[in-house]
Amino acid sequence: MITLPEWHNASVIVDRNLEAGREDKVAIFCGDEQASYGELARRINRFGHALKELRVGRENRVLLVLNDTPSFPVAFFGTMRIGAIPVPVNTMLGADDYRYFVEDSLARTVVVDGEHHEKVRDALDGLQEPVELILTNDGQEEGARTLEDLLEWGEDELDPVTTHKDDAAFWLYSSGTTGNPKGVVHLHHDIDYTCETYARHLLEVDESDITFSTTKLFHAYGFGGGVSFPYWAGASSILLPDRPTPEAVLETIQRYGPTLFFCVPALYNSILGYEGAEDYDHSSIRLCVSASEPLAADIWHRWKEKFGLTILDGIGTTEMLHIFVSNFPDEVKPGASGKPVPGYELRILDEEEGHELEAGNAGQLQVKGDSALAYYWRNHEETKEVIKGEWLDVGDFYRLDEDGFYWYEGRADDMIKVKGLWVSPLNVEETLNEHEAVSESAAVGVEVNGLGQVKAYVVLHEGYEGSEDLIEELQGLSEEKLKGYEQPQMIEFVKELPKNPMGKVQRKKLREAESGEAPDTGEAPDPDE
């Protein structure tokens, strides 16, 4: 599907716009700032020169703790252009996390936003080897360099280092479900592959588009929507440095008029509940995209009814870089993840026997496509567990319906086994969430007298209180909608559910509370513990 020269440096995704005569076209809208493709290229080249002067060399890691501003693509592609490896990480973490990233990646250079400077400075305190700190966006420290100062010197032209298309290009960290985050190593050809598959064949991105992703650029999903897809097509992108609240998102849409909107289910739902959301101008949007977690059919229908816009739900992983299963503009099933994106193949395997399952049966999803990670850094055993020849084990349970659509059943490690049968926590939660009193819920497996059962944690809407009568109502609803073995035998009301920084429910923490590995306070475990 895609043919690249053997020697390829992925930073040329920006150069192609200069070659196409788009030097003066706006590449980035960010608050009151605009950056053209010509200006972006000059900043990238100048930063590359600066890194070389600081003795950053090929395959040296450069950690990026950056908000969504022009500094992100400048640091990312400037690093890549000299053959070094950018490692963007989550900006919503603490000093201990950043210390781990520095020590694990062996990064000796960190580029950090002023907002996160203090946390990173604490992380670097006491390290045996010195780390060069480069501040940006109002970051100041005596003796520390700033990206803005570095861009004042150097040259506007810088040829990309000759790298092989299969050389390591950049890392992303994947938290997974157990242990420390894993460094996911991606190659120079991976970005182009996602652009030539999902961006070209499904979204049909072209230079007339303006993209806006509420998911941050350090995340694979956000990177595609906010950087790689628009740069590849010669489109423009909108960057929002601040927290994507419903108000901030709606104001950004009205101000800049994006044509492609990338968001996540939790935020779609929050926007739907925001008073006056329909009064903002959203007429520029031609397609909405959802990923990161399954999009409930109810949210899809309410969004369509309220705004008249279609959401294309899909799934991707950090390991595959972007979406590889998606609904299509002319083929949508609300609630389903969709069909394979051109360029990817899928199969569903029986977890215990390992053979491929027929439609209608739930099993382990595997994907094949050339944007897959090369390996996990310093994690040979888990690499072998996930990569099966040309296939990658996604870690999710899925089933295929008679129309060729894939339906999410749950994370493999979140699936619940009752009486020898698999229970999808998603099915239990969707049923409970139908009740007017329920805001959200999470189902986990517990062991009672050696037998597996389903337990549900339930968060109520304001104005409702948990009671035995409400438990009976919820269990009655479950009896109407679910098979006997799927029904929750236990229901506990909690104030909130533990979630990661992307808003995904962490069922693992609930299971730990049940097993005694985490304190049982009668409420949902603290997501920061």
Is 3 among the domain residues? no
> Average pLDDT in the 105-125 region?
96
Enumerate the β-bridge partners of residue 172: 184
Is 216 among the domain residues? yes
Do 450 and 370 sit in the same domain of this protein? no
Per the structure, the complete domain to which residue 251 belongs is given by 12-400
Do 340 and 486 sit in the same domain of this protein? no
The C-alpha atoms of residue 196 and residue 3 are separated, in whole angstroms, by: 10
Do 394 and 496 sit in the same domain of this protein? no
CA 514 to chain centre: 28
| Residue 53 CA: distances (Å) to CA of 83, 346, 455 | 14, 46, 58
Do 312 and 456 sit in the same domain of this protein? no
The C-alpha atoms of residue 291 and residue 294 are separated, in whole angstroms, by: 7
Per-residue pLDDT tens for 184-194? Answer: 999 999 999 99
Residue 15: name the closest of 34, 35, 37 by CA.
37
Contacts of 142 (CB under 8 A, 6+ apart): none
Find the range with the poorest average confidence among 16-20, 128-132, 253-257, 284-288: 128-132
Do 395 and 464 sit in the same domain of this protein? no
Burial, 497: exposed, middle or buried (Cβ in 10 Å; 0-12, 13-18, 19+)? buried
CATH number of the domain encompassing residue 489: 3.30.300.30
Do 472 and 349 sit in the same domain of this protein? no
Domain boundary among 350, 375, 400: 400
Count of residues making up the chain: 529
| Residue 85 CA: distances (Å) to CA of 108, 228, 336 | 11, 16, 36
Domain boundary among 378, 400, 422: 400
Per-residue pLDDT tens for 414-441? Answer: 778 787 677 888 889 889 999 999 999 9
Is 521 among the domain residues? no
CATH number of the domain encompassing residue 22: 3.40.50.12780
Asked whether residue 177 carries a pLDDT value surpassing 60, the answer given is no
Confidence of residue 528 (pLDDT cuts 50, 70, 90): very low
Structure tokens at 250: 């709606």
Instruction: Give this prediction's pTM.
Output: 0.85
Is 525 among the domain residues? no
| Residue 289 CA: distances (Å) to CA of 48, 70, 100, 286, 380 | 33, 23, 33, 10, 34
Is 408 among the domain residues? no
Is 206 among the domain residues? yes
Do 169 and 272 sit in the same domain of this protein? yes
Domain boundary among 344, 369, 400: 400
Do 357 and 461 sit in the same domain of this protein? no
Do 204 and 328 sit in the same domain of this protein? yes
Do 145 and 253 sit in the same domain of this protein? yes
Is 405 among the domain residues? no
Do 464 and 388 sit in the same domain of this protein? no
Query: Based on the structure, what is the number of domains in the chain?
Result: 2
The C-alpha atoms of residue 204 and residue 6 are separated, in whole angstroms, by: 26
Is 406 among the domain residues? no
Do 372 and 441 sit in the same domain of this protein? no
pLDDT at 167: 98
pLDDT at 515: 66
